[in-house]
Amino acid sequence: MKAIVKSKPERGLWIEDVPMPAVGPNDVLIKVKKAAVCGTDLHIYKWDEWAQNTIKTPVTIGHEYMGEVVEIGSEVDRVHVGERVTVEGHIACGFCRNCRRGRQHICDNTIGIGVQRDGGFAEYISVPAKNVLKIDSRIPDELLSIMDPLGNATHTALSFPLLGEDVLITGIGGPIGAMATAVCRFAGARNIVGTDLSPYRRKLARQMGATLVVDPLKENVQDAMRSLGMVAGFDIGLECSGSPIAFNDMVENMYNGGKISLLGLLPKTTQINWSKLIFKGLTLKGIYGREMYETWYQMEMMLTSGLDISPVITHRLKADDFQKAFDIMEEGNCGKIILDWE
């Protein structure tokens, strides 16, 4: 079968013929229909420091995808051939303390599909049946293929109550920030203010429901607050940029007792004003993946009740044109890019 493979420890990806994946007794074989390119995939493509420390070549990449079940293992009884499905990308062990207390998303022994094992940028993928999700048929294939990153956005946004709250989102125009914007709007936030360096992505954030989007090189958050009639800081902060400058700006503009979801990967060298965190009584929560499987339930209910994230899909390409997809990703003028495997 065809697959997009990180076959060498250097910049680039290659489409190759690889063996069909084995299907164990508890596994499901899926014929991939749609897949989406993630920032993680771009890290692997660029072969940056994170990728060099994490990826063992060769590996088929990709962890955002959907398709049809074409074969099931001998022990599988709740997934059936012919079903349209997507997949939770983190395989939890099921036995560590966190798994046994319902915190699979921070399992001690997590294995990432498309990172530590072969992923979904291929014609077929074999995955554990426990990770397979059959989702409401009213949700289109393209949206089904990006429920993994929507899950990150949902986990980030819904970690704290939003009704009537003022929200600040750094990196608002990236796919996660943009989808988090739509979730905040859907969940009843009052003002949703964001910062982003990219004009393209600032426009995307406005499409997704942001009240006001700031270019941090030319404007500041305090002026945005004044223009909206805000007399104090933000109640909720969603850090999606990974920028130390943006994070410090967020801390500066939080209201006392505010709560911050940290999704962006800040550099090890990041310095913050700890006294601000302490004297403001701020709460920080690290966000990793999706809370399994409550986040999936929340996504499905929102998508079938009026949440519209379709503007975040900005490009559609054939799987053979994956190089163009990664070129576009590097330029940054995009939301989600869908690869068609049909």
Query: Does 38 belong to an annotated binding site?
Result: yes
Beta strand spans in the chain (E): 2-6, 14-17, 27-36, 59-60, 65-72, 84-87, 90-91, 111-112, 124-128, 132-134, 167-170, 192-195, 212-214, 234-239, 254-262, 283-286, 313-318, 336-340
**DSSP character at residue 227:** H
Residue tagged active-site, from 43, 90, 105, 155:
43
315 included as an active-site residue: no
- Residue 182 to residue 205: CA distance in whole angstroms: 9
Query: Does 100 belong to an annotated binding site?
Result: no
Query: Does 63 belong to an annotated binding site?
Result: yes
43 included as an active-site residue: yes
Strands 90-91 and 192-195: unpaired
Q: List C-alpha distances in Å: 149 to 58, 137, 222, 232, 283.
A: 24, 19, 30, 32, 24
Q: Is the dihedral of CA 49, 42, 212, 234 positive or negative?
A: negative
- Residue 222 to residue 287: CA distance in whole angstroms: 26
> b vs e for 260-273, b when ≥16 Cβ sit within 10 Å of the residue's Cβ?
bbbbbeeeeeeeee
Helix (H, G, I), strand (E, B) or coil at 76: coil
- Residue 297 to residue 291: CA distance in whole angstroms: 10
Query: Does 263 belong to an annotated binding site?
Result: yes
Query: Does 265 belong to an annotated binding site?
Result: yes
Query: Does 64 belong to an annotated binding site?
Result: yes
Residue tagged active-site, from 40, 86, 170, 211:
40
Query: Does 176 belong to an annotated binding site?
Result: yes
Vertex 152 angle, CA 207 and 132, to 5°:
115
Query: Does 240 belong to an annotated binding site?
Result: no
Query: Does 288 belong to an annotated binding site?
Result: yes
Q: Which residues are catalytic?
A: 40, 43
Residues that constitute the known binding site for Zn(2+): 38, 63-64, 93, 96, 99, 107
Residues that constitute the known binding site: 38, 63-64, 93, 96, 99, 107, 176, 196, 201, 263-265, 287-288
Residues that constitute the known binding site for NAD(+): 176, 196, 201, 263-265, 287-288
